[in-house]
Chains A and B, each alone.
Chain A
Amino acid sequence: MRAYIPVARATYMIGLVYRFGFLFNILGNLVYLGVAYYLWKSIYRYSDTIRGLTFNETFIYVALGSAIFILLKTYADWIMHFEIREGAIATYLTKPIDYQIYALFANFGAMLMNLTAITVPTALVMLFVFKVHFPSGLGLVLFPISLLLAFLISFSIDYFVGLFAFYSESVWGLSITKEIIVTVFSGALIPLPFFPDAMQRVLLWLPFQAIYHTPLMMITRPNQGLDIFLSMILVQLIWAILLFLLARLFYNQAIKVLRIAGG
């Protein structure tokens, strides 16, 4: 495992090397935050709660949701698409490393970068500029664990899609489809409680809600019982392990068709 830590460190550093990209990331997110604040403020003008969520809860969900969305978006599928198609994967395969774990750590470093550049500033602005009141409770303590598991699930889905690059010249269409499914079904775009009840019940069985809905619930409704939180984390854990292993099986099949011509 020690061999992979410098890999995460390297991708984190790459985020810092491009200083203007770093600064504009922060700035862009702050603009989005302002837009979201005034949009939902006007939606809530005529009622205090919508589907049981107060303005405060919805704003936390949406604003933090977008920050977490950027945090957990790995781009692993796009990176792999290029690495496999251009043959750059050969340089990884000639090193004593496991490609899946290598990719995991590389993306983990990028995730930490986003944490520094997006999530933490967002939370600070919400606290001190918009004076959002974060409810306290047990959920806040479990939030980091939930977030880490959410990252693992998000990574495995992206990695799984990326592996299709072994078979297809382009995973573009597949990536876009995945993106839409994840964004909608995870509750990143619209909070899950706003969906019809029947749909909510189905969505809760899919891995997507475990990416955004679960960690966000721990922030917006942190004062629920321990048993509710533990079962949520258990579902995340099961999905994280299952998807990781599934992706591994898929890799073992996909690598057999690898064909790198020239150079």
Chain B
Amino acid sequence: MSLIHIQNLTKHFKILNRREGLSGAFRDLFSGNYRTVEAVAGISFDIEAGEIVGYIGPNGAGKSTTIKMMTGILKPTGGVIQVNSLAPYDNRIRQAQIMGVVFGQRTQLWWDLPVIESFKILKEIYKVDQKMFDRHMDMFNELVGLKTLYSQQVRTLSLGQRMLCDITASFLHNPQVVFLDEPTIGLDISVKAKIRSLIKGLNREHNTTIILTTHDLGDVEALCQRIIIIDKGKILYDGDIKRVNALFGAYRTLKLQIDNFTESTLQQLKRSLTDCFGMKHGITIAETEEFWTDVTIDQARTPLSDVLSLVMNNFPVIDVRILEISMENVVQKVYDGALG
């Protein structure tokens, strides 16, 4: 039996259709006009003990809703969900004992108190005995040097320090599964690296299952063997990271700002790329925001540097940016059948 078993899971929300303006707001007071939103529309997967699974998708895909059903906060509308053979919502207090949760946007620590106090409170809440507490605190100290932060008030920590504390705190009671919801949101590269190595270390220590939702594909690349991509409440892909990695690892987006850009410039750009690299060049062009043209390049087929020099030599380029492929692009590629 797998640790987490999900089958045909659905979650619907009833949302009041709000009308415009002040008079609309008044009429809404007595309105029974609801619409149903399918946040999760029938998903199934199994997760084994010890796995680190990346659960990714664009904003509003249903990631957080799934996490909240797995942690027992929300009651599913339909389908089966079992963590360690029990339904999380109906056994919330019991299930909470074997889970750790970090919501990147908020903290579980006591804002006004020194860091160590939060750990002491959590020790009692989870009924962690002194021996295990000491052992875990030593381990956390080894992994991230937690001791130096003990006496600091939580609200005076930097976002990165707070996140390190929040993540270690969620491992204090040696849970079987830890849910990390956007643990690297808003952090800079060096702190992200630190968080990633911490998560890896904690997973290794007790073979803890970790489910990670993130917007940063770098997190997934660094941590997960398996990846589940969800969009509009449905699973698009569930499998080995390597195939997806090949997909987004090879792609780069070249953002161009071209002087006097018009529709004909776009046609010209398309034509010259086809002329130069042939029909199967693996390049897509889109105008995403004002003044910027996105050229997404499959580096396996066409080297980025070739495209760049072609564009620079033939067009009046004002500004250039090179981006790694975004979550939205990956999802789009999967839709387009890239993994098919």
Q: In this complex, which of A5, A6, A18 has the most chain B Cβ atoms within 10 angstroms of its Cβ? A: A6
Query: Which of A3, A13, A86, A91 is within 8 Å of B117, CB to CB?
Result: A13
Name the distance in Å between A200's Cβ and chain B's nearest Cβ.
38
Contact of B113 among A2, A17, A95 (CB under 8 A): A17
Please give, as numbers and ranges, the residues of chain A lying within 8 Å of B94 by CB-CB distance: 96
A6-B120, A96-B97, A97-B93 known; A263 and B181 CB under 8 Å? yes
**In the assembly, what is the distance between CA of A87 and CA of B125, in Å?**
21
Which B53-102 residues sit within 8 Å CB-CB of chain A? 64, 68, 71-75, 92-94, 96-97, 99, 101
B323 surroundings in chain A (CB, below 8 A): none
Interface size class of A (residues with CB under 8 A): 20 to 34
Q: Evaluate whether A91 and B103 lie within 8 angstroms (CB atoms) in the complex, with A6-B121, A258-B73, A260-B68 already known.
A: yes
Given the interface pairs A88-B106, A263-B64, A263-B104, the reply to whether A97 lies near B125 with Cβ below 8 Å is yes
Contact B125 A14 (CB under 8 A): no
Q: Which residues of A contact B121 (CB under 8 A)?
A: 6-7, 10
Task: Count residues of B near A (Cβ-Cβ below 8 Å).
Answer: 34
- CB-contact partner of B74 in A5, A14, A258, A263, under 8 A: A258
By a CB distance below 8 angstroms, the chain B residues around A263 are: 64, 103-106, 181-182
Please pick, from A2, A90, A97, the residue contacting B103 in the complex, using a CB distance under 8 A. A90
With a cutoff of 8 Å between Cβ atoms, the chain B residues found around residue A173 in the complex are none
Of the candidates B68, B113, B120, which one forms a contact with A90 in the assembled complex, judged by CB atoms under 8 Å apart?
B68
Name the residue of chain B whose CB is nearest to the CB of A257. B14
The reply on B13 being an interface residue by CB < 8 A is: yes
Q: Is residue B329 within 8 Å, beta carbon to beta carbon, of the partner chain?
A: no
Mask, B176-189, CB within 8 Å of A = 1, is: 00000110000000
Query: A260-B68, A260-B73 are known contacts. Are A94 and B124 too (CB-CB below 8 A)?
Result: no
Given contacts A2-B124, A10-B117, A260-B68, contact A94 B101 (CB under 8 A): yes
Asked if B153 lies at the interface with its beta carbon under 8 angstroms from chain A, I say yes
**Complex Cα gap A6–B121 (Å):** 6
Please tell me which one of the listed residues A17, A94, A256, A261 contacts residue B71 in the complex, with CB atoms under 8 A apart.
A94
Residue B112, interface by CB 8 Å: yes
> Does B153 lie within 8 Å of A17, measured CB to CB?
yes
Complex contacts, A5 vs chain B, CB 8 Å: 124
Bound CA–CA A146/B324 (angstroms):
66
The interface residues of chain A lying within 8 Å CB-to-CB of B292 are none
A133 at the interface (CB under 8 A from B): no
Q: Within 8 Å CB of A262, what residues of B?
A: 64, 105
Which residue from chain B places its CB closest to the CB of A88 in the assembled complex?
Answer: B106
- Contact between A14 and B113, CB atoms less than 8 A apart: yes
* A17 and B97 within 8 A (CB): no
In the bound complex, residues from chain A placing their C-beta under 8 Å from that of B13 are: 259
B110 sits at the interface (CB 8 A): yes
Report chain B residues within 8 Å CB of A14: 110, 112-113
Closest CB-CB distance, A120 to chain B, in whole Å? 23
Contact A91 B108 (CB under 8 A): yes
B127 on the interface (CB 8 Å rule)? Answer: yes
Q: With the chains together, A3 CA to B104 CA distance in Å?
A: 25
Residues of chain A within 8 A (CB-CB) of B101 are 90-91, 94
A-B contacts besides A90-B68, A90-B73, 15 pairs, CB < 8 Å: A6-B124, A93-B71, A94-B71, A94-B72, A95-B96, A95-B108, A95-B125, A96-B126, A97-B125, A98-B93, A259-B13, A260-B64, A262-B64, A263-B103, A263-B182
**Chain A residues within CB distance 8 Å of chain B:** 2-3, 5-7, 10, 13-14, 17-18, 86-88, 90-91, 93-98, 256, 258-263
